[in-house]
Structure 1
Amino acid sequence: MNVKQGVGAQVIPIGKRLTFRILLMTAIGLLLTLAAIAYTLLLSWQLEGGGAAINEAGSLRMRSYRLVQLIGHPMPEYSAPRELAEFDRVLQDLQQGDPRRPLFLPQTEAIRAQARQVDEVWENLMRPELEQVMRLAEGEKKQQALDIYLKKLPSFVDSINRLVSLVEVELAEKTTWLRLCQTALIFMSLAASVALLYLLYLWIVGPVTRMRAGIAKMSQDELDVRLPIESEDEFGVLAQAFNQMADHVQGVHRTLEERVLEKTAKLQAQNHEMSTLYEIAGFLAGPHAIEELCRGFLHRIMLRMHADGGTVRILDKHSDNMHITVHEGVPDHMIEQEHCIKKDDCLCGAATQQGVILVRDFRMLDQQKRYRCAEEGYVSLAVFQIMARDQVLGTFSLHFLKERLVTAEERRLLETLGKNLGAAIENQRLIAKEKEFAVSHERNLLAQGLHDSIAQGLNFLNLQVQMLDDALKRGDLVEIADISPLLRAGVQESYEDVRELLLNFRTRLQDSNLEGEMRNVVAKFQRQTGVHATIDFRGNGARLAPEQQLQVLFILQEALSNVRKHAQAGQVKVEVENERDFSLRVMDDGAGFAMEDAQSKGDGHVGLRIMQERAQRLSAQFDIQSQRGQGTMILLRLERTERMVA
């Protein structure tokens, strides 16, 4: 069972979720704490307001006696009317309260009644008497009125004292409640901490400890360990998932050896497949002929697949014939019958259109149709295409004397190897065409060289021989004496041309040392002709590729050959500059020629055309500059974009 699916499929009710319980416990504790704090703040505020009320009520006693003193003995900084107004203000604050200070009387019935009594006594008895005293002038009547006020004053002060006493008693009770509330907060904090620790242990620490112990036992290969499911919260789900995982691990452990053997066998098969692919791909990458490629390929495939026979057939697209190129393990008379057949006459040919053909058992096919493989005793057959660039080049077949099932991995491997064989065959065909083209091109250059030198020399000798024959018939010894040196010179020149051609076409670079070979060519030219020749190398660029070096050397040889034949020069200078671009200059101080004459000769000036064709093979720029009597310069320039890596 999938543990992850088991955990995810179970939905925990919100009331049983651990997160919900923690949040609920936190919210209840927070509300209780806030309520207790709010109540203590209210008590503190009431105590502060009651204390201010006690101070103000106490000041009324002082103000009552101060009024008597101010009436009898006025003072500059105090006046009786002002003090009276201040007395009224304090009394009004006690009645209405002032939240800003704060100042207010406790809201008990006794205190409110006593406050009203103080106010009524002041308004009905004390204030009228005091105002009457203040209106009378100094004299006996004023003194009598003042005495009456003084007699009533102790009773009024007693009422104020009773009010203060009541407020003090009330504030003492509130102070007691404040202390009790603070003490309760302390005990609540302790109880909440203990409860929190207990619940955390019960909900989190205990389950985590049990789960850790279970994991430790599992790590010690005690696969029969299981966790008790004591709750329906997240830890209960985790315990259930742990038990499911333990069941799964225990089940897997029982079949572990079988799985290891299975995986090992599969890994060995994959390694064998990769080694086969690398081995055959390495063989196909070698320089082998097509028949050798097919034979080596077939032999290795048969060993890999344990086949009893096999063939490689190449398709002739022009005639749709299938030709057996190589075979192994197949009877000779079967090869004789099928060495060349139409692609629709057998399964091997049909695979060129249908793709892979696999026959597990010929006995299960249509018995009325003839299968040569079945007639030879083969039971199974596997045919795969040989492909290159999405083109079918042929097929290869594997024959089995016993029933053989080709697996998907083997089929994929054989299809890949068929493409590798096709690419190798196509590469060999391209290499053969390239060699054929190179040989044809060199033969063309050789023919042009023969035409330019030997053919013209032989034509000259033919004319001289005809003239000699006529002179012999006439017995003209003088003409014979004139013709004989010409014949000798013509034969000698033809001999030198042949030697030069052989030298040019036998030229090979030694260790890609272009500079050394060019110096040898210039030195040999100077030694054979007696013409002073120099060569100058400049630059430190990279070496040219061997093919490009050889073409540059041929162009230099052809240029010096033209100087020897036509220039009548006294000095030749060769300059080579090898930087990012490569350039070759061959300059002489000979007779020169008009470019119009060279162009009008066309094929008659074969040497120049040979150099131009070689320059084209290099993808280089080729230029000739010459004037009569001013020598000739041949320029070859190979730009950096056309240089090949050596």
Structure 2
Amino acid sequence: MDAASSLPIGKRLTFRILLTTLIGLALTLMAIGYTLLLSWQLEGGAAAINEAGSLRVRSYRLAMVLEHVSSTTAQDELDQFNSTLSDLQLGDPKRPLFLPATAGIRAQMQLVQQDWKTRMQVFAIQAQNELDVTSRQQALKNYSDALPSFVESINKLVSLVEVELSEKTTWLRLCQTILIFMSLAASIALLYLLYLWIVGPVTRMQAGIARMRKDDLSVRLPIETEDEFGVLAQAFNQMADRVQTVHRTLEVRVLQKTAKLQEQNQEISTLYEVAAFLAGPHAIEELCRGFLHRIMQRIKAEGGTVRILDNHSDNLHITVHEGISEKMVEEEHCIKTADCLCGAAVSQGIILVRDFRQMDTQKRYRCAEEGFFSIAVFQILAREQVIGSFSLHFTHERVISSEERRLLETLGKNLGVAIENQRLIAKEKEFAVSQERNLLAQGLHDSIAQGLNFLNLQVQMLEDSLSRNNLQEVSDIAPLLRAGVEESYEDVRELLLNFRTRLQDSNLESEMRNVLSKFQRQTGVHAVIEFIGSGAPLAPEQQLQVLFILQEALSNVRKHAQASEVKVRVENERDFKLIITDDGQGFTMESAEQKGDAHVGLHIMRERAVRLSAQFEILSIPGQGSTISLHLLRQERLVA
């Protein structure tokens, strides 16, 4: 409910206007009603004067009728006279007709009526009914003698009525004059009240608004009434106070908002800077050191540490530190998760200490002994798992705001993700090295190991021939030893060449041409390569596996196929295909499987195809050569 509707009804402007209107209307209606009453009374009195005047005429006419006309006509005149006299006495509101109700007029009317009944009517009836002429003449004479006094009595009645009507006429004119003056006074009063109650307050309100529009915020309206305009003036003053207060504090609030915006910009800048650093290819120790250095600069800390959790032993190890003495590092380089504040933060969450003097004095805090006044410890999280903590040390009382706390929590998660990524990269590298070592071992077993085993048998046979002094066998074994050594030497050179192969500028076509050219120079086998299609290049890791498969296939051709020509076809459309065909002696898959380790190269190519998630097929017919095909589907291709 607003203030205007809560005002008492007696103080409301609408009530006062309604009351004034009702009072003016009541007075006007009373004045008009009184003038109507006076007009009605004047009309009835005028009719009474006319009727009284007609009595005089009828009294003279009755005398003439009694003297010359028949008794029937005389009786009619008597009846009309009595009727007129009765109307005067009783009145007739329909006409209207009535005598004024004053005592003098009523008394005079009684005299006229009594004189008529006791004298005049008696004389007239005697003159009408007497048969004797003398008696009739005497009755007429008595009527005629009494007539002047009777008429005079009627005239007196008429005079009294005229005087009364003259007074009422004067009152009527006076009332009309008063009504005119009342109308003028009511109009003036109404105009004054309208100005006092409405026009004046509205004018002052407009003036106040105009001054406020001109930035005069000191303007205030006087509260002169307790009505709606008083409430409105009070609300205007309150609004002016609020606007003036807001205007005074606007600059301060702008500065506060600007400072807050600058803080938020600094937080975003810090978050971006640290995130960009953590996204780089850095070792874990370098990540932690760069992270701690940037955080200390942003929070203005005098010291700090980053500790990594060892899940197997539940120990926290200091990875990097800054602003911390070597003595403290020596004592706390390895702590349990329940030890001290840095250890407790791993299990309990964020720990903030504003003043070490307020902590438990029975416990020993190395940070306080170092001269630090306050500390903040946050968790390092990766995949919602705690992998460590980082601490910030201050030599003064430091309150970490909610914005800074949120920023440090976010950065702790970013550091955890970066550390976890580096661990995954290290594991991936370790796995890749392990796989390459496995392939290297298989290659050595397929080539060098087999050759050394052959040389070992030949050396044993040579020793046996020498012990028996059988020079013929020695001369037969010596060429075999030379051929075995040369073959082993070629195998070693080929393995070294294959495992040193690297893609230059991710150009698979040029590298494949180089590999084929070296194969042709070393073996003398004619080799051709054909490239079809203009698809996107393969990702570097896929290109390298394709190159290794080509090298392994050419190695198998050199060792086993005894071919005179090799054809290589590369189709690079949405799918990628590699087809290697030779015209060698061929083989059957059953014989290859029976030889087992003698054909490790086939297994190596299959493993590399599995790495690519590609389809690998070998088609070989004895005496008709072999065909090796690699098919990499479009959905398995990686973006280069």
TM-score by length of 2: 0.66
- Counterpart of 1:329 (choices 323, 330, 347) is 323
1:477 is aligned to: 471
Alignment pair present for 1:552 and 2:546: yes
What is the one-letter code of the residue matched to 1:404? R
CA deviation vs aligned residue, 1:571-611 (integer Å, no higher than 9, x gap): 21111111111111111121111111222334442101110
Displacement after TM superposition at 1:488 (Å) = 1.4
- Alpha carbons of 1:481 and 1:269: their partners in 2 closer, same or farther (altered >3 Å)? same
Q: Partner of 2:460: helix, strand, or coil?
A: helix
Contact residue 531 and residue 572 of structure 1 kept, 8 A: yes
Displacement after TM superposition at 1:386 (Å) = 0.6
1:459 is aligned to: 453
- Alpha carbons of 1:383 and 1:565: their partners in 2 closer, same or farther (altered >3 Å)? same
Contact residue 529 and residue 564 of structure 1 kept, 8 A: yes
- Counterpart of 1:290 (choices 284, 287, 296) is 284
In structure 2, what is the Cα distance between the partners aligned to 1:389 and 1:503?
A: 43
- Alpha carbons of 1:206 and 1:498: their partners in 2 closer, same or farther (altered >3 Å)? farther
Q: Partner of 1:330: helix, strand, or coil?
A: coil
1:344 is aligned to: 338
Contact residue 320 and residue 343 of structure 1 kept, 8 A: yes
Map of 1:605-616 to 2, 5 A cutoff?
605-616=599-610
What is the one-letter code of the residue matched to 1:633? T
Alignment pair present for 1:279 and 2:290: no
Map of 1:225-264 to 2, 5 A cutoff?
225=219, 243-264=237-258
1:538 is aligned to: 532
- Alpha carbons of 1:208 and 1:319: their partners in 2 closer, same or farther (altered >3 Å)? farther
1:318 is aligned to: 312
CA deviation vs aligned residue, 1:201-232 (integer Å, no higher than 9, x gap): x9999999998876665454222345789999
Contact residue 12 and residue 233 of structure 1 kept, 8 A: no
CA deviation vs aligned residue, 1:255-306 (integer Å, no higher than 9, x gap): 2232222222222222222222222222212211111111121122222222
CA deviation vs aligned residue, 1:342-379 (integer Å, no higher than 9, x gap): 11121111101110001111211221222222233322
Alignment pair present for 1:630 and 2:624: yes
Contact residue 3 and residue 231 of structure 2 kept, 8 A: no
Displacement after TM superposition at 1:489 (Å) = 1.3
In structure 2, what is the Cα distance between the partners aligned to 1:624 and 1:395?
A: 55
1:448 is aligned to: 442
1:422 is aligned to: 416
Q: Partner of 2:560: helix, strand, or coil?
A: helix
In structure 1, what is the Cα distance between the partners aligned to 2:540 and 2:615?
A: 19
- Counterpart of 1:299 (choices 284, 293, 300) is 293
- Alpha carbons of 1:245 and 1:598: their partners in 2 closer, same or farther (altered >3 Å)? farther
Identity of aligned residues (%): 77
Contact residue 446 and residue 597 of structure 2 kept, 8 A: no
2:572 is aligned to: 578
In structure 2, what is the Cα distance between the partners aligned to 1:393 and 1:260?
A: 43
1:595 is aligned to: 589
Displacement after TM superposition at 1:440 (Å) = 1.2
What is the one-letter code of the residue matched to 2:638? M
CA deviation vs aligned residue, 1:151-170 (integer Å, no higher than 9, x gap): xxxxxxxxxxxxxxxxxxxx
Displacement after TM superposition at 1:315 (Å) = 0.9
Aligned residues: 460
- Alpha carbons of 1:9 and 1:450: their partners in 2 closer, same or farther (altered >3 Å)? farther
In structure 1, what is the Cα distance between the partners aligned to 2:591 and 2:400?
A: 75
Contact residue 356 and residue 382 of structure 1 kept, 8 A: yes
Contact residue 284 and residue 297 of structure 1 kept, 8 A: yes
- Alpha carbons of 1:516 and 1:17: their partners in 2 closer, same or farther (altered >3 Å)? farther
CA deviation vs aligned residue, 1:324-347 (integer Å, no higher than 9, x gap): 111111222221111112111211
Displacement after TM superposition at 1:470 (Å) = 1.9
Displacement after TM superposition at 1:641 (Å) = 0.6
In structure 2, what is the Cα distance between the partners aligned to 1:206 and 1:501?
A: 109
Q: Partner of 1:605: helix, strand, or coil?
A: helix
- Alpha carbons of 1:217 and 1:521: their partners in 2 closer, same or farther (altered >3 Å)? farther
CA deviation vs aligned residue, 1:451-480 (integer Å, no higher than 9, x gap): 100111111111112222222222222222
- Counterpart of 1:354 (choices 337, 342, 348) is 348
Alignment pair present for 1:644 and 2:638: yes
Alignment pair present for 1:403 and 2:360: no
In structure 2, what is the Cα distance between the partners aligned to 1:463 and 1:544?
A: 46
- Alpha carbons of 1:557 and 1:261: their partners in 2 closer, same or farther (altered >3 Å)? same
In structure 2, what is the Cα distance between the partners aligned to 1:12 and 1:623?
A: 95
Contact residue 12 and residue 234 of structure 1 kept, 8 A: no
Moved more, 303-312 or 628-637: 303-312
2:378 is aligned to: 384
- Alpha carbons of 1:602 and 1:246: their partners in 2 closer, same or farther (altered >3 Å)? farther
What is the one-letter code of the residue matched to 1:544? L
Contact residue 12 and residue 232 of structure 1 kept, 8 A: no
CA RMSD of aligned residues (A): 3.2
**Structure 1: stretches of 5+ with no match in the other structure:** 1-6, 22-201
In structure 1, what is the Cα distance between the partners aligned to 2:303 and 2:230?
A: 66
In structure 2, what is the Cα distance between the partners aligned to 1:491 and 1:548?
A: 35
Moved more, 311-320 or 268-277: 268-277
Moved more, 381-390 or 487-496: 487-496
In structure 1, what is the Cα distance between the partners aligned to 2:362 and 2:483?
A: 85
Alignment pair present for 1:431 and 2:425: yes
What is the one-letter code of the residue matched to 1:422? G
TM-score by length of 1: 0.66
2:104 is aligned to: none
1:564 is aligned to: 558
2:42 is aligned to: none
